[in-house]
Amino acid sequence: MGNKIIELKNISKDYDVRVLNKINLYVNENEFLTLLGPSGCGKTTTLRILGGFEFPTEGDLFFEGKNINNVPPHKRQINTVFQKYALFPHLNIYENIAFGLRIKKTSDAIIKEEVKKMLKLVNLEGFESRNIDSLSGGQQQRIAIARALINKPKVLLLDEPLGALDLKLRKEMQLELKHMQREVGITFVYVTHDQEEALTMSDTVVVMNHGEIQQIGTPVDIYNEPENAFVADFIGESNIIDGVMNEDYLVTFLGRTFKCVDYGFNKNESIHVVLRPEDIVMVPEKEGYLKGTVTSTIFKGVHYEMIVNVGALDILVQSTYQSPVGDRVGLKFTPEDIHIMSKEA
Amino acid sequence: MVKRNLHKIYMGLIFVFLYAPILVLVTYSFNDSTSRGNWGGFTLKWYIDLFNDRDIKTALYYTVIVAVLAATIATFIGTISAIGLYNFNKTPKSIMVNINYLPVVNPDIVTGLSLMILYLSTNMRLGFLSMLLSHITFDIPFVILAVMPKLKSLNKHLTEAALDLGATPLYALRKVVIPEIMPGIITGFLIAFTLSIDDFVISFFTTGSGVTNLSIVIYSMARRGVKPTINALSTLMLTAVLILLFIINKRSALVDGQKNNGGNY
């Protein structure tokens, strides 16, 4: 790691409206980078610009230090796994995977060997002569990955590759993809709207909204130190509360002053406080910093999700213990659980 | 019960009206008598006469040659045009597609006449070449109409996937797009071939001395009085066109069937 393999400088893209606005981003070699955001945030457009299927209206795109703004897709050392796989229906699995090598006029013997290797990598040995229609969604997905990887690209782009799979298969494939990425040692740029998927697999997460980058960081950073309310809200469930930063390490919200671990804000700057629902502990009313009434409780499998009304607003709390609706409870949290974000301009 | 029988009778009447003339024609082509009123027994002699007639043999030769050449060239031009049209932006695309419909609905006689005037005004001699060009002209829109739906149902990412894997745009066209739309191309070819074989009006206006196709021969023979050989010739043409239609239908049923069988997972 450490070498920039791809760099985007001030990339913008206009259709009728602006869909990407001044994207600045770099991808390191062997990195697993995820573009995360809701639909229409520009993540797929960014990926298509990397693949060469769209050209930026403004800005520059560099690959290994060279400007590739006008290089067509077939001349880029980048391969793509498409959202709906886009396997060639008229070719069998062997020919689908061999497609890239056939273009390079590779000898049959080498193609045979490479296809076999790829099928082994994606756990579909012996599928050579099968039709793609006979495969399940998950299997087609693997073939699409094999077809891209056989070209030994320096970067693999993946556009919501697991979107069409059911939950269990998706979880399996997440681990498998991560494993494959380590095994072949190439850079992955992954697009998803699933925040859990992004956190599970990535080295770096880029959160996007409205064609702009909201935050770039490791999954832990993004989760624990969201830079603004959008990121906090998009990455997991959050309670976002208005507050005032009295001074370093001291914040006031919901009528009380708390110690916290954040610093570097202006005196009495008005800020957002983020409290993750799983960080809040329910205690008897007397012991709580905040007091309120349980207004709803939902069983979520691993935990219960409860809404506690503390007068001014509702606070979301997750706990493995259930408090019945109507109960008066207290809420407690530690200074480390309080995350401070400056308000968006 | 009564109602259902009425349905059947009505259907039967429609079929009688539609097919009785053809049946009569086919029957008389085997009739061993020159008069149309009576049945003189079964014979194949009109068919044998047919193959001894030099005019008819040349006409057959021209019909087949023109149909094969026109259908082939029209399929080539039509397919390329369809692919080009498909990649147009929305508004120009719909304008072009509608312009393409025009020759399809235009009366043959208008097409024939206007082509003839065009050839004459450019001092082109009417004959084999002018007839071939005319056939290509009226075949192309039908090929485009057969190919367009296949392009529409094509996964848009397939071309991108091919380019992504290192294919030049031309290679992607040859190895991915063309094989995918092949059923439409073949259907287009067969339709063009069928139209070309049985065309009379446009050929009549655009051909010149010495070059005639079967339809024109039948027409000129019929003007001199209906001989049983005409019945035989018409029956043969009918059979050829029926076989082609049958193939076209079987093919589209087969292709649709494949599509419905695939993709179960």
**Regarding beta strands A339-342 and A269-275, do their DSSP bridges make them parallel or antiparallel, or are they unpaired?**
antiparallel
> What residues contact B117, with CB distance under 8 A and at least 6 apart?
none
Handedness of CA B233, B235, B237, B240 (dihedral sign): negative
B161 to chain A, any CB pair closer than 8 A? The answer is yes
Say yes or no for a CB contact (<8 Å) between A99 and B171.
no
Residue B124 tokens, joined: 């082109």
C-beta pairs of A94-100 under 8 Å, 24+ apart in sequence: A94/A128, A94/A129, A96/A132, A96/A143, A96/A147, A97/A143, A97/A146, A97/A147, A97/A150, A98/A150, A99/A147, A99/B162, A99/B165, A99/B167, A99/B175, A100/A147, A100/A148, A100/A150, A100/A151, A100/B165, A100/B166
User: What pLDDT shows up at residue B104?
Assistant: 86
CATH C-level class of B49-252? mainly alpha
Shortest CA gap A288–chain B (Å): 53
Distance of residue B80 Cα from the nearest chain A Cα, in angstroms: 20
Beta-ladder partners of A275: A239
Tokens found for residue B203: 């050929």
| Closest C-alpha among B129, B146, B150 to residue B190 | B146
Q: Which residue of A lies nearest to B166 if distances are taken between CA atoms?
A: A74
Which chain A residue shows the shortest CA-CA distance from B158?
A86
- C-beta atoms surrounding B209 within 10 Å: 8
- Interchain CB distance below 8 Å, B163 and A137: no
Rounded (to 5) percent helix, strand, coil in chain A: 30, 35, 35
Residues contacting A343, CB < 8 A, separation 6+ = A229, A270, A271, A272
List the single residue in B161, B175, B262 with the smallest CB-CB distance to A133.
B262
The whole-number pLDDT of residue B68 equals 95
CB within 8 Å of A224: residues ≥ 6 apart: A339
Option in A82, A104, A136 nearest B157 (CB): A82
Q: Name the stretches of chain A with pLDDT < 70.
A: 1-2, 344-345
Q: Which residues are CB-neighbours of A132 under 8 A, at least 6 positions away? A: A87, A88, A89, A91, A92, A93, A96, A140, A143
| Chain A contact present for B186, CB below 8 A | no
Question: According to the model, what pLDDT value does residue B66 have?
Answer: 94
Interface test with chain A among B87, B89, B158, B165, by most A beta carbons within 10 Å: B165
* Residue in A closest to B262 by C-alpha: A133
A332 forms beta bridges with A281
Residue given tokens 């029957």 in the structure block: B27
Q: Which residue of B has its CA nearest to A149?
A: B165
Whether residue B160 and residue A53 make contact (CB cut-off 8 A), yes or no, is yes
Task: Report the pLDDT value the prediction gives residue A233, as an integer from 0 to 100.
Answer: 85
**How far, in Å, CA of A319 to CA of A282, rounded?**
8
Buried b (16+ CB within 10 A) or exposed e, B5-32: eeeeeeeeeeeeeeeeeeeebbebbbbe
Residue B36, pLDDT score: 67
A chain contacts of residue B155, beta-carbon cutoff 8 Å: 84, 86
Cβ-Cβ contacts under 8 Å between A and B: the total is 70
Biggest CA–CA distance in chain B, Å, is: 73
B:59-78 residues touching chain A, CB 8 A cutoff: none
Distance from CA of B161 to the nearest CA of A (A): 7
Interface touch A89/B168, C-beta < 8 Å: no
Say whether B165 and A99 touch across the interface (CB within 8 A). Answer: yes
CA nearest neighbour of B144 among B104, B180, B177: B104
B165: nearest Cα among A149, A183, A270:
A149
Could you tell me if B213 and B66 are in contact, meaning their C-beta atoms sit under 8 angstroms apart?
yes
CB contact under 8 A, B164 and A74: yes
pLDDT on residue A345: 47
* Cα-only R_g, chain A: 24
**CA of A101 to nearest chain B CA: how many angstroms apart?**
9
User: Which residue has 């339709």 as its token pair?
Assistant: B191
Contact A159, A47 (CB under 8 A): yes
The predicted-structure confidence for A187-199, as pLDDT tens digits, reads as follows 999 999 988 899 9
**ipTM beyond cut 0.85:** no
Output the furthest CA–CA distance in chain A (Å, rounded): 78
Interface of A with B (CB under 8 A): 51-53, 72-74, 78-80, 82-84, 86-90, 99-100, 103-104, 131, 133-137, 147-148, 151
Distance CA A154, CA A76 (A): 9
Residue A268 amino acid letter: N
pLDDT of residue B258: 55
What is the spatial order of strands in the sheet that A18-28 belongs to? A18-28, A4-14, A58-63, A66-67
Element (H, E) at A34: strand A32-36
Q: In chain A, whose CA is at the least distance from the CA of B181?
A: A90
Residue partners of A26: CB distance under 8 A and separation at least 6: A4, A6, A7, A8
pLDDT for the residue B146:
92
Cβ of A90 and B180 within 8 Å?
A: yes
Coil, helix or strand at residue B94: helix
Amino acid B33: pLDDT: 78
pTM: 0.76
The residue of A48, A82, A106, A169 whose CB has the most chain B CBs within 10 angstroms, and thus the best one to mutate to test that interface, is: A82
Place of tokens 């068919």: B47
CA atoms within 13 A on the CB side of B243: 7
Q: Which residues of B touch A133 (CB under 8 A)?
A: 261-264
Chain B residue numbers with beta carbons less than 8 Å from the beta carbon of A147 are 165
Per-residue pLDDT of chain B (265 residues; tens, 9 = 90+): 677 788 889 999 998 888 888 888 888 888 887 776 778 788 888 888 888 888 888 888 999 999 999 999 999 999 999 999 988 888 888 898 888 888 888 899 999 999 999 999 999 889 899 999 999 999 999 999 999 999 998 888 899 999 999 999 999 999 999 999 998 999 999 999 999 988 999 999 999 878 888 889 888 888 887 778 888 888 888 898 889 888 888 877 766 655 544 333 3
Beta bridge partners of A240: A274
- The minimum CA-CA distance between B261 and chain A, rounded to whole Å, is 9
| Closest CA in chain A for residue B183 | A90
> How large is the angle between the packed helices A93-103 and A137-149, nearest 10 degrees?
20
Q: Which helix (H) or strand (E) holds A318?
A: strand A314-319
Domain locations along chain B: 1-43, 49-252
- At A78, which helix (H) or strand (E)? strand A78-81
3-state secondary structure of A43: helix
